[in-house]
Amino acid sequence: MNWRLIISPPLDGATNMAIDHALARMVAAGDSPPTLRLYRWQPACVSLGYFQPSSAVNQSACAHYGYDIVRRPTGGRAILHADELTYALTVASTQPGFGGRILSTYRQISLALLAGLHNLNVTAAWSAGHAATSASAACFDTPADYEITVRGRKLIGSAQTRMRGAILQHGSLLLSADVARLYAVLNLDAAISSTSLAERMIALDEAAEQHIDFDTCASALVAGFCTTWHIRFTPGELTSAEATLAQTLRTERYANHAWTQRR
């Protein structure tokens, strides 16, 4: 089976979210193939989950550091996207192997992610029995079922949505982590300290005991998807229709301050 692979240059948060939303819509309509997009963020950005209140973010701290704020089309909790690899997977819900419930799809994707991390000599596992028990605003505070951990600490935070016959799943793999900055830009419960947050999350450089750059990480993850799902990727770019829809979504939604702050 052939999938499309898009590796994007670093983009701002509103553009990244608009592209992923556009891809999901086009896949649902049957106008685009199943797609894995890997990308970065410029400038760094705090993303809110779709249902998360905007009060979870310390907006003055974001302004101080020059960070964007965006609301994702997927659920979950807030993430600071800085030195990381983000994946967005868009596939029709009718695609064989993807018609089950959200957790079964999480499991499918996590198997591929684990294989990719194995290519980087990182021994990781998925979590179980942790789903949605923490009230913290931080995504990396607590792993949900089938999210990726190393020695019990969360390495990849993922979130999924179903929209009009398509599945969109986002995932954030920190290449390195600045826990102090993450702590500063989120309004966390007083019981959560920067130290306790650091003990619950882990970045790839610590997990691998060496720095791994974006391109090396991307290659390893792509290979993990290929071997696990028995698929092939064709490198590609956005079509003109996808780019046009993404621009519309960016203007009307993701770069719209009122929409971002609506909760």
Q: Which residues are catalytic?
A: 139
Q: What is the rounded distance in angstroms from the CA atom of residue 249 to the CA atom of residue 256?
A: 10
Beta bridge partners of 85: 173
Q: What's the order of all strands across the beta sheet hosting 153-163?
A: 125-126, 148-150, 153-163, 166-174, 84-92, 35-39, 2-7, 232-235
Residue 93: how many other CB atoms lie within 10 Å: 16
- Region class of 134: left (phi > 0), else alpha (psi between -120 and 50), else beta: beta
Q: What is the rounded distance in angstroms from the CA atom of residue 157 to the CA atom of residue 148?
A: 7
Question: φ and ψ at 229, to 5 degrees?
Answer: -100, -5
Among 4, 38, 43, 177, smallest CA distance to 116 is for 38
Contact 147, 139 (CB under 8 A): no
